[in-house]
Amino acid sequence: MKITTVRHGETDWNVAKRIQGSVDTELNEAGIYQAKLLSERLSAEPCDIIFSSDLLRAKKTAEIINTRHNVPLITSPNLREAGFGEFEGQCISDAKVRAAFGEYMDNNVVPYFAKVHAYLDEILRSGHNNIFLVGHFGTVRAIICYLLQIPAENRSRYTVGNTAIHTFEKMDNGDFHMTLENDTAHLGANLK
- The widest CA-to-CA distance across the chain, in whole angstroms, is 47
Q: Which of 81, 128, 136, 166 is catalytic?
A: 81
Is residue 130 helix, strand or coil? Answer: strand
Smallest Cα–Cα separation from 55: which of 102, 22, 12? 22
8 is catalytic: yes
Smallest Cα–Cα separation from 179: which of 139, 157, 141, 148? 148
Is residue 124 helix, strand or coil? Answer: helix
81 is catalytic: yes
Provide CB contacts within 8 A for 69, sequence distance 6+.
42, 43, 47, 50, 132
The CA distance from 46 to 25, in Å, is 29
Residues designated catalytic:
8, 81
